[in-house]
Structures are given as structure tokens and as C-alpha cells.
Structure 1
């Protein structure tokens, strides 16, 4: 199985590393849009436009699945990406929420939440 991993910069490299170490996929193609980073200060329409352009990049590789390793892109563009893609598209918000809830139940753990202005404004969390 061939997957794509997309981030607006390099933060998604941690997601890429985890996926690589899990050895679940035959091939992983990573796209970090460092030319237009940060997405977190851009408006919704611009974020969606950039994400759809990234989708076009991945289509040439005939991937089987796309993982959006960016909270801001997941918050604003996931529905638009799913509507256009010919393969499943997953964001990171659900996993982030689940990990936070799990950490909150452990009284010995402290958590720190860091987010872009756009992610906070989206109210997806």
C-alpha cells in the first residue's frame, strides 16, 4: 500500500516517522509545503486552496490513502479534500483529541496544548 503524508511545514515529520516505524506501508510519499508556511495565519479559503494543490501533487503517485499531518489543514480542508480525492483522506484532529482525553485521565500527566490562530478559530477541537 502506498500512502501520502501532507503537512504545511515540517511538523508532520513526527507523523511520518511514526508511520515509517510502524512498517504498515510499502511506500510513503511526504509533502511538506515549506514554501507557504505557516498556514496558521492564513484565511480558510487560502488554506483550502493550498491543500487542494497538494492533493494534485499526490494524484500523480497513485496513492491509496492520504494523511493530513497538519492540524490547521485538517480543521479547514479535510472535507474539501475528501470530496475531491479518489482515495481515503484522514486528518489528525480525532487522534489528537483522543490522546488529550486519555492524558487528562492520568492525574500524573501534564499536557500542553499549542495551536495556530487558524486552528483555534476553526473550533474543531
Structure 2
């Protein structure tokens, strides 16, 4: 059994909804949340800046030895996730695809 925590990141506070669901669905898992309130919102920033800010949050979570990272931020998921997935050996899950599947 892997006792490492699940990492959740967001550009602010919206990812707390994602974190709440993770805790509800997996109450025996520990979690670490990072919300980048200092730089929110991400939506009006350049692609390069979004990737850089998201990479900083990912690196923080990696320093906490998480076993998986969930992007609770739509902007980070849409803009930065594919780039960062190529850089990080952990599984990264985003909210855009799951939201689109739920809507369908």
C-alpha cells in the first residue's frame, strides 16, 4: 500500500471543491493542497507564465512526496498539464476531461 499523500493544486480556491470530493471518495487517503492565491487568476496570463506557475506548484507537491497530482484548476489543466506530464514521472489528472465526460 502506498501511504504517500495525494497532491491537489489550483490557482486559487476553486480546487478546494476538488479536494473535498477526493476526501469524500477516499477518506483514508491523506492529501496536500496548494492554492496559488498570490498569482490568481491564471486565465489572463500567457501560456508560458501559466506553465511556469503550475510547474512551481507541481514542484512543491513533488517535494512533499505525493503519489499522484490532481490539477483542480481548469486553466492549468487546459494549458499546462500536457507539458508538465512530459516532465514528471507521476500520474497527473486534470479536471477538464472529467468535467467534459460528466457533462456528456
TM-score, normalised to structure 1's length? 0.77
State the 1:55 CA deviation: 1.2
Distance 1:55 1:16 in 2: 16
> What RMSD over aligned residues (CA atoms) do the two structures have, in Å?
1.2
State the 1:26 CA deviation: 2.3
Does structure 1 conserve the Cα–Cα contact (< 8 Å) formed by 2:23 and 2:29? no
Tell me how many residue pairs correspond in the alignment. Answer: 101
Structure 2 counterparts to residues 97-112 of structure 1, below 5 A: 97-101=100-104
Which residue of the partner structure matches residue 44 of structure 1? 47
Larger radius of gyration: 1
Tell me, yes or no, if structure 1 residue 63 matches structure 2 residue 66.
yes
Structure 2 unaligned regions, length at least 5: none
Structure 1 unaligned regions, length at least 5: 102-125
Structure 2 counterparts to residues 88-99 of structure 1, below 5 A: 88-99=91-102
Distance 1:81 1:24 in 2: 28
State the 1:22 CA deviation: 1.2
- Which aligned segments of 4 or more residues in structure 1 are displaced greater than 6 angstroms? none
Structure scoring higher RCO (CA < 8 A, sep ≥ 6) equals 2
Distance 2:17 2:45 in 1: 23
Distance 1:25 1:83 in 2: 29
Does structure 1 conserve the Cα–Cα contact (< 8 Å) formed by 2:7 and 2:32? yes
The structure-2 alpha-carbon separation of the partners of 1:14 and 1:82, relative to structure 1 and needing over 3 Å to count, comes to same
Tell me, yes or no, if structure 1 residue 32 matches structure 2 residue 35.
yes
TM-score, normalised to structure 2's length? 0.91
